Structure 1
Amino acid sequence: MKNRICFIISLLFSAGGPLLAQVPDTLNYKFSLKEAIDYAVKHQSAVLNATIDEEIARNDVKKTVGTGLPQVSASYNFQDYLKLPTTLLPGEFLSPPSPTPIPVKFGTKYNSTAGIELSQLIFDGTFFVGLQASKTYKELSVRASTRTKIETVVAVTKAYYSVLVNREQLKLIDANLTQLTKSFNETEAMFKNGFVEKIDADRLQVLKNNLETERENAIRSLSINTDLLKFQMGMPVGAVLVPTDQINDIRSEAVSIVPADSTAYKKRIEYALLETQRKLNLLDVKRYKSAYLPTLKGFASASKNFQSDDFSSHYDQSFPTSVIGFTLSWNLISGGQRIYDVRNAKLSVRKTENSMLDLKNGIANEISASQKLYMNSQRSVENQERNLRLAEEILRVTRIKYGQGVGSSLEVTTAETSLREAQNNYITALYNLLINKVDLDKALGNINY
């Protein structure tokens, strides 16, 4: 029996091994920038909530439409009079007449009524305006959702670029560290053979230690920025994410430069939101004006009334009632409230128009500033690239001179320091270029999803 159990367990483990091996590791991702953005739009909580708001707006529109459709209600009422109500009748009705009222009880012990009522809105100016407003409100929610997506795209793009810049920085540090380690080892060997002083090796050791510390900081910065990218994407922080885009390919992407009198503001979602808000404000004016008009409703109802003093036969006999009609209501005087409602609604339209003008000017200023920053960052990167190549060449020549005995270790140390400074300046300029590129695209309204 024991051998049989062991045999079954061994079969389970041998079968389970291949099955487990077939389960894909879904927490490992290799994404281009576009793939990262697509993932964020599907998983970022702000985008998901904006999509939910769109659905809520669609439901609100349907709810508003429903108020103008036929309304049907049913009711049932049951009464058990423990004591029947008493009514005083004038004594003059009696024969012979009495000078005092006579108490009389009317009705039955059990009374119940079952009915159904249908009502239909025939005319209400505020309803039709509200129907238009609800559709505009849905449009507003869609545009608000688009703005959330654009903001997510911008955040993901900047975080993605930060990771690429960190990787470029780490690549430069590794290349520099390889050369510096080689120089240190050669100088150390020359010191042991008595060709150089100990201070020469010590200077390179200090540079090597500092560069290793800088490398550790760069690795930590890369990890932090990668986690930030995952957070902006709505990805679990514990997942493994490897960006696949190359920084040189991104740099080569041109950004259009538009003239100062461009109408690029029309492409901005913020301006579209204010346009929709203005529509709502104008509909508010129309809604308050329609409050001067009457409201007409039609109705129809049918009911049955049951009365008896014996509960067992309460429903044996009924007294039906049915009625149709309409109700016209017209608020002729409201103490001037509607006048001020209309005035305030018109003032809201003016406020929105002022905001649109201010935003238009702000976007023009933003485009102008973003273009200048982008062009400056382009020139800065080009200059820093030249400085970097020059610093590398100076270090190469200085090492050759030092190896041939015609240069000093201090010159090598100075050249190493200059190279590190040139590398840091290049990385900073490269980061600014990519961030300014995103800001310019956003200012021009080129970022859409």
Structure 2
Amino acid sequence: MESRHSQLFTVVTGLVLFASSLVANGQEMLSREDAMNLTLKYNYDIKVAEKDLEVANNNQSILNSGYLPSIQANGDIGVSGYQGENKTANGDFSYDPTEAYNYSGSVNLNYILFDGFGRMYNYKQLKELYNISELQARQIIENTVLELSNAYFLMAQLTEGVSILKNALSISTTRMQRAAYSFEYGQTTQIDLLNAQVDVNNDSINLLNTTQDLENARRNLNLIMRREIETEFVVDTTVSFSIPGTKEELVSQAYQRNVLIEQTNSQLRNSEFALKASQSGWFPAISLNAGYNYSGNRNPAGAFVTGSYNFGPQAGFTLSWNIFDGGATRVRNKNARIEIERQQVLKEQTEYSVKRDVLNAYSAYQNSLFVFNAEKANLETALKNFERSDDLYKQGQINSIEFRQAQLNLRNAQNNFSIAKYNAKFEELSLKQLAGILLEGL
């Protein structure tokens, strides 16, 4: 019997050591700030957003605006072959193959002086489109920061969960040893021993499963930070809270800084520029043309004029006015006005939606802080209850079932407190994102 219990104890000890080794190899302590910096620097989604922003920056360049003149250089040369006969005064004939050349070259400049302000508002649209791209990139960064924080807190919570379960397994193992010795000396029944063995097995399984979840969370966090997937590290499990402000202050900040509201404002400005650009079709266009031309030719032998050439500058203005374009400009103008009205509706809808989300998030954050403090009090009570139950169990005043219940109450209180702590912090970050202040200090 003693040998059997020793073997069981050896197996349990091996399970504890195996689970511990899975989380003890990581030597690096990775703070959330360090994880944030790595993510902002290397994350795949952020890198793609940066490339999109580079394209938008190229599009808003003066080189893509139509404000610069166009300059063209042209040149051509032509060769013609001739063969004929010449008749002399005494009646003789002679054949004289010859060639003729034509050549020309020019450099021309064209610049639009006025096009009904269409070019100006098109350029403002390009600038506004770049602003929209910046806001879209910021939205991706905010979502990625929130994703990273959620993954980091999950790993921290699982780290605490592993520690809690290791402690629970250690308590259960000690209890199983005590039950085995008591059974050998006839001080208790085999039922107590069997119950203790079942509890050890359950605690071992829970520890192994949670340890596996922790390893998966570490790999997921490495992916977000764009690091080698198997990189070992541990995370900081300390959390501090900072109240972002009153709900009135947060709503006010959201109206000014929320990325979705800023995007609708930018889209509305872009629609207003599009309306003004559409009106350019009602105005005349004036262009400046200038150039330098050179042309010449060489005629075949026997021609009256053997060759000529011309060169010199030229300049002028061109005015064009599309007096009636079949109503196309009028249609564009009407559609642009409708688009402005549409954007105004979307702006109002977004503002109300964001206000609702801020108020909901504020309530959720306050509730999560209440739950956090309540779970903290529950943990203190459960710890005192377990310590008292442990003393009574050692004195034989309570049975193993009552002791196990106190142990489970403590473990559940520890897990609930850990979960409540990270939930409250995540709610705080979500509230900051809605208020548009998530990236402050990053």
TM-score, normalisation: structure 1: 0.81
Residue 342 (structure 1) aligned to one of 333, 352, 370: 333
Separation (CA, whole Å) in 2 of partners of 1:30 and 1:401: 40
C-alpha offsets along residues 283-341 of structure 1, whole Å, 9 cap, x if unaligned? 00000012211111111122222323569xxx985333542212111111112211121
Q: 2:386 matched to 1:395?
A: yes
1:112, CA displacement in angstroms? 2.6
Query: 1:287 aligns to what?
Result: 277
Cα distance in 2 for partners of 1:48, 1:338 equals: 41
Distance 1:438 1:240, change over 3 A: same
Shift of 1:271: 0.9
The letter for the 2-side match of 1:308 is: R
1:303 aligned to 2:293?
yes
Residue 365 (structure 1) aligns with: 356
Change (3 A) 1:28 1:414: closer
Question: Residues 352-396 of structure 1: CA distance to partner in whole angstroms, max 9, x if unpaired?
Answer: 111111111111111111122122222222222333333333333
Gap runs ≥5 in structure 2: 1-25, 84-98
Structure 1 counterpart of 2:344: 353
Aligned to 1:38: 37
Aligned to 2:184: 192
**Residues 408-447 of structure 1: pairs in structure 2 closer than 5 A:** 408-447=399-438
Code of the residue aligned with 1:338 in structure 2: it is: T
Deviation string, structure 1 residues 118-164 (Cα, Å, up to 9, x no partner) = 11221122111112222222222222222222122111111111111
The CA distance in 1 between the partners of 2:319 and 2:110, in whole Å, is 13
Please report how far the alpha carbon of residue 405 of structure 1 lies from its aligned counterpart in structure 2 after TM superposition. Answer: 2.6
Q: Deviation of residue 239 (structure 1)?
A: 2.6
Partner of 2:120: 128
Distance in structure 1 (CA, Å) of the matches to 2:106 and 2:154: 70
- Matching residue of 2:162: 170
Q: Is the 8 A contact 1:158 1:438 kept in 2?
A: no
Indicate how the Cα distance of structure 1 residues 179 and 333 shifts in structure 2: closer, same or farther if over 3 A, else same: same
| Structure 2 SS opposite 1:386 | helix
Equivalence for 2:76: 77
| Structure 1 position 79, deviation (Å) | 3.0
Q: Give 1:102's aligned residue.
A: none
Unaligned runs of 5+ in 1: 1-26, 85-107
Whether the 8 Å contact between 1:140 and 1:273 is mirrored in structure 2 is yes
Query: Residue by residue, what CA displacement relative to the aligned partner does 1:36-56 show, whole Å, maximum 9, x if unpaired?
Result: 112111111222222223322
Aligned partners of 2:250, 2:75: CA distance in 1, in Å? 70
* Amino acid in the other structure paired with 2:219: D
Cα deviation for residue 81 of structure 1 reads 4.7
In the alignment, is the contact (CA less than 8 A) between 2:157 and 2:237 conserved in 1? no
- Inter-CA distance 28–354: structure 2 relative to 1 (3 Å threshold): farther
> Residues 49 and 137 of structure 2 are in contact (CA less than 8 Å); yes or no, is this contact kept in structure 1?
yes
Q: What is the match of residue 263 of structure 1?
A: 252
Residue type of the alignment partner of 1:47: I
- CA distance in 1 between partners of 2:228 and 2:81 (Å): 69
Aligned to 1:47: 46
Matches within 5 A, 1:142-153: 142-153=134-145
Instruction: Count residues with an aligned counterpart.
Output: 394
- Correspondent of 1:232 among 210, 224, 230: 224
2:338 counterpart SS class:
helix
* Conservation of the 8 A alpha-carbon contact between 1:288 and 1:338: yes
CA pair 215-83 structure 1, distance change in 2 beyond 3 A? farther
> What is the distance in 2 between the residues matched to 1:414 and 1:351?
62
Q: 1:156 to 1:296 in 2, by over 3 A?
A: same
Identity %: 20
In structure 1, the partner of 2:89 is none
Pair 1:68 & 2:67 matched = yes
The two structures have a TM-score, normalised by structure 2, of 0.82
For the 8 Å contact 1:260–1:368, the answer to whether it is kept is: no
The change in CA–CA distance for 1:310 and 1:201 in structure 2 (over 3 A counts) is: farther
Distance 1:283 1:64, change over 3 A: farther
Q: Distance in 2 between matches of 1:368 and 1:66?
A: 43
1:90 aligned partner: none
Q: After superposition, what is the alpha-carbon deviation per residue over 1:386-441, rounded to whole angstroms, capped at 9, x for unaligned?
A: 33333333333333333323322222233333333334433443343232222222
Secondary structure of the residue aligned to 2:180 is helix
* SS of match in other structure, 1:263: helix
Paired residue type of 1:121: I
1:183–1:325 distance in 2 versus 1, CA, 3 Å: same
In the other structure, the counterpart of 2:264 is 274
**Is the alpha carbon distance of 1:407 and 1:226 closer, same or farther for their aligned partners in structure 2, counting shifts above 3 Å?**
same
Letter in structure 1 aligned against 2:361: S
- Residue 214 of structure 1: aligned partner: 206
Residues 78 and 102, structure 2, Cα contact 8 Å, conserved in 1: yes
Q: Structure 1 stretch 131-140 or stretch 387-396: which is displaced more?
A: 387-396
CA, structure 1 residues 163+261, in 2 after alignment: closer, same or farther (shift >3 Å)?
closer
Query: Counterparts of 1:321 and 1:171 in 2: how far apart (Å)?
Result: 90
CA distance in 2, matches of 1:402, 1:65: 82
Cα deviation for residue 345 of structure 1 reads: 0.8
User: What per-residue deviation string (whole Å, max 9, x for no partner) do you get for residues 95-122 of structure 1?
Assistant: xxxxxxxxxxxxx843232221111221
- Indicate conservation of the 8 Å contact 1:395/1:419, yes or no: yes
The CA deviation at 1:66 is 5.6
Q: Which amino acid aligns with 1:290?
A: S
State the partner residue of 2:234. Answer: 242
Measure, in 2, the Cα distance between the counterparts of 1:398 and 1:112.
109
User: How many angstroms apart in 2 are the aligned matches of 1:261 and 1:33?
Assistant: 24
Letter matched to residue 216 of structure 1: L
Task: Tell me which moved more, 157-166 or 141-150.
Answer: 141-150
